Amino acid sequence: MKKIMNAPDAFVAESLEGLVRAHEGLVTFGAGRTFIRRRDLAPGKVAVISGGGAGHEPLHSGFVGRGMLDAACTGHVFTSPTPDQIVAAMDETDTGAGCLLVVKNYDGDVMNFEMAAEMAASRHAIDTVIVEDDAATGPSLRSRGRRGIAGTVVVEKILGAAAEQGSNLAALKTLGDDLNRRIRSMGVALRGTTVPENARETFSLGPDEMEIGVGIHGEPGLERTRFAGANEIIRLLGERILAEFPSDVAEGGTARPLLIVNGFGGTPPIELYLAQGIAHRFFENHGVVPARTLTGTFVTSLDMAGLSITLALLDEVQFKLWCAPVATPCLSW
Amino acid sequence: MKKIMNAPDAFVAESLEGLVRAHEGLVTFGAGRTFIRRRDLAPGKVAVISGGGAGHEPLHSGFVGRGMLDAACTGHVFTSPTPDQIVAAMDETDTGAGCLLVVKNYDGDVMNFEMAAEMAASRHAIDTVIVEDDAATGPSLRSRGRRGIAGTVVVEKILGAAAEQGSNLAALKTLGDDLNRRIRSMGVALRGTTVPENARETFSLGPDEMEIGVGIHGEPGLERTRFAGANEIIRLLGERILAEFPSDVAEGGTARPLLIVNGFGGTPPIELYLAQGIAHRFFENHGVVPARTLTGTFVTSLDMAGLSITLALLDEVQFKLWCAPVATPCLSW
């Protein structure tokens, strides 16, 4: 295992330190360095707070700033942050309008954010949006529903923009739950990764294999198949994505589709843009014309090779919120 | 070799196609699809044109747009574009004030850009800036001087901003040559890459090895050493970078240092930000306090694992040009 790292137990802290130093105008450490927060809070705005295991950077810490998150709590690699971290973030960033917690749907994350919400319930108005966009994991397969993967960026961006524009906690909760029905993602891995703490490979693929429907913690995918060309990979992901929208969303018109090609950490821009072009054409051929795209490395699994496709079938209001100005370390326009 | 790709001979074209589709508001294909150009040219502005082999994306095609490049010519992977491509780009983007060619210092690139300049000399006023920032390759080692690596982003950004603000060809040439003395970079590879066309690995490193001073085409580095921790890697790169500035630049005050941590394609944000934090501290400890930083994937070697550090000791005017607005597919603020 070769990583740009000093020691495994300093890996996450040293990376967060670098992020804060590089973007001091936008973010700072919160109390006890247990979370990263927006430097200049906006009084009276709902605090949008997220977090999760490390290893998915720039999610979530790179998305703290104006128009997106107010705080991000980071755990060890692929390990939920503790309830204490989340409570500390709420205590420091709630300026009176309450806290919206954005949580990827994994048992550990859901449990710790729930526990934090209980612990802080007497001091803060709190609501929670659970992100469930992974088309590879249906509600029928897992009691807790779909996993949250790269669609989380869309949920955090749109909720952050709405909060910035003054939406209250109830409106944000409604918006977040609606977004969950409108976003589907699916990933493919060409190579696994190695977790620093235990130096163990998450999974191992042969030279002719790929893992379709893979998660972002090295979870098994939907199936391991023979490695294929880009057209075939995009077809596999795209067909499943289209099939997994609720029927009213799929049939209700595709006002403003947003298409994201997200690299998992080990896949370079030349491959991501190739996938973007093919995915764009694929969805167009299926009657879904992307109104906006995003291509890059946003939700990673350390340095896993591969990518995910996210399609968000936004309504006009949601699309405008996506396009609204944002100023964070790793997403800005 | 697993890449998100259909066929090796369509790899570059399909990726450029994806880039153009994703950023239609900013860029478009030039004549015969042999280059990518800014969609809306600015009449009377010097055309800033660059290019090189594919495999370094987002360099150069991702940096076409307002405030940076007017055109980028892309060759096959790690292969110079042809003189014809470069001439076509000049013919289409020169709106009267001439063309500035920005060329990374490799024999093939220098030769083809020179040939293009000769071919088009009767129609265009042309000047050329050769980028030479690699601290691992001194003028003493190679007759043609240092290689051009990630510092190319700085040269393209600052020249692009100056051109946007109305600098003429002579002023841009002077500015570019001065920048060359003020920018030093050096890289380390943890894993080589595989060129699609021949399915051959550029170099192979053992599990305990790293390549210091590596180029971006899989060229050998300065030395192959035992893999080390991040502090030690940054020290190796940083000391050499500081030592390789001309003495008047090193001693002439460090008005506005810019620090870039650039991933080579296979290294994820968590590692890049860790390196950014350590490099920031390293240079501070040596009396060079970064005034601005950039962290991400800008100049790649396909999916090679590793990174480079770039330090640019800019004067006040150059720093302002760096900070000036830019709107390209892969660099914007």
The DSSP result for B76-145, as a single string, is EETSPPPHHHHHHHHHHH--SS-EEEEEES-HHHHHHHHHHHHHTTTT--EEEEEE--BTTS-TTTSTT-
Q: From the CB of residue B66, how many other CB atoms can be counted at a distance below 10 Å?
A: 18
pLDDT of residue A139: 61
Encode burial over B197-236: b for 16+ CB neighbours within 10 A, e otherwise. eeeeebbebeeebbbbbbbbbbbebbebbebbebeebbeb
Nearest chain A residue to B6, by CA: A229
Those residues whose C-beta lies under 8 Å from the C-beta of residue A105, and which sit 6 or more positions away, are A130, A131, A132, A144, A145, A146, A147, A148
For residue range B45-72, list pLDDT tens digits in order. 999 999 999 999 999 999 999 999 999 9
Asked if residue B154 is part of any domain, the answer here is yes
- In this structure, are B268 and B285 located in the same domain? yes
CB-CB neighbors (< 8 A) of B207 in chain A: 2
pLDDT averaged over every residue in chain B: 95
Cβ <8 Å between B266 and A303? yes
Amino acid at A10: A
pLDDT tens digits, residue range B264-301? 999 999 999 999 999 999 999 999 999 999 999 999 99
Q: Per the structure block, which two tokens stand in for B116? A: 């293009």
Q: Are residues A225 and A174 in the same domain?
A: no
- pLDDT for A6: 98
Residue A3 covered by a domain: no
Same-domain pairing of A161 and A299: no
- In chain A, how many domains are there? 2
Q: Kindly report, residue by residue over B138-150, the tens digit of the pLDDT.
A: 765 544 689 999 9
Is residue B2 situated within a structural domain?
Answer: no
- Residue A115 confidence (pLDDT): 98
pLDDT tens for chain A, residues 1 to 333: 899 999 999 999 999 999 999 999 999 999 999 999 999 999 999 999 999 999 999 999 999 999 999 999 999 999 999 999 999 999 999 999 999 999 999 999 999 999 999 999 999 999 999 999 999 987 655 446 899 999 999 999 999 999 999 999 999 999 999 999 999 999 999 999 999 988 888 889 999 999 999 999 988 788 999 999 999 999 999 999 999 999 999 887 668 999 999 999 999 999 999 999 999 999 999 999 999 999 999 999 999 999 999 999 999 999 999 999 999 999 999
User: Do A75 and A37 share a structural domain?
Assistant: yes
DSSP states of A62-129: GGBSBTSBSEEEEEEETSPPPHHHHHHHHHHH--SS-EEEEEES-HHHHHHHHHHHHHHTTT--EEEE
Across the strands, what pairs with A256?
Answer: A314
pLDDT digits (tens, 9 = 90+) for B226-238: 999 999 999 999 9
Domain stop point among A151, A181, A211: A181
In a domain, B47, yes or no: yes
Q: What is the pLDDT of residue A142?
A: 47
pLDDT tops 80 at residue B254: no
Q: What's the rounded Cα separation, in Å, for the pair A193 and A201? A: 6
**Could you tell me the CATH number of the domain that includes residue B37?**
3.40.50.10440
| Residue B215 to residues A38, A64, B141, B202, B308, Cα–Cα distance (Å) | 38, 34, 14, 11, 10
Contact A233, A210 (CB under 8 A): yes
Last-in-domain residue among A120, A148, A181: A181
Which range marks the domain in which residue A22 is found? Answer: 11-181
Nearest to B277 among A18, A273, A280 (CB): A18
CB distance A4–B297 less than 8 Å?
no
Catalytic residue flag (residue B217): yes
Q: Maximum Cα–Cα distance for chain B, whole Å?
A: 55
In chain A, what residues touch B265 (CB-CB under 8 Å)?
268-270
Q: Does the residue B255 lie in any domain?
A: yes
Do B304 and B266 form a contact (C-beta atoms < 8 A)?
A: yes
Given B4, B22, B303, which is nearest A233 (Cβ)? B4
Q: Do B297 and A297 touch (CB under 8 A)?
A: yes
Domain boundary residue, one of A128, A148, A181 = A181
Residues B20/B27, Cβ–Cβ less than 8 Å: yes
Residues A242 and A144 in one domain: no
Q: How large is the average pLDDT for residues B172-201?
A: 95
Residue B127 to residues A57, A224, A303, B161, B165, Cα–Cα distance (Å): 42, 54, 41, 17, 18
Residues A51 and A71 in one domain: yes
Whether residue A112 is contained in a domain is answered as yes
Give the pLDDT of residue B55: 98
Return the beta strands (E) in chain A as ranges.
Answer: 27-29, 36-38, 47-54, 71-77, 99-104, 126-131, 183-191, 194-195, 200-201, 209-212, 223-226, 256-263, 292-296, 305-314
Contact between A11 and B274 using a beta-carbon 8 Å cutoff: yes
Q: What is the CATH number of the domain that holds A279?
A: 3.30.1180.20
Within this chain, do residues A212 and A92 fall inside the same structural domain, yes or no? no
Closest chain B residue to A3, measured at CA? B271
In terms of domains, do B156 and B26 share one?
A: yes
Place of tokens 């370079």: A268
Instruction: Classify residue B115: in a domain, yes or no.
Output: yes
| Token pair 């072009």: residue | A277
Give the chain B residue whose CA is nearest to the CA of A278: B18
The answer to whether residues A167 and A191 belong to one domain is: no
Neighbours of A226 (CB within 10 A): 9
Residue A77 lies in a domain: yes
- In a shared domain, residues A154 and A16: yes
C-alpha–C-alpha distance, residues A36 and A27, integer Å: 7
Q: Would you state the pLDDT for residue B142?
A: 47
Statement to judge: residues A35 and A56 lie in one domain: yes
Do B100 and B159 share a structural domain?
yes
Which amino acid, one-letter code, is at A169?
L
CB contact under 8 A, A300 and B270: yes
Task: Check B56, B60, B76, B280 and give the catalytic one.
Answer: B56
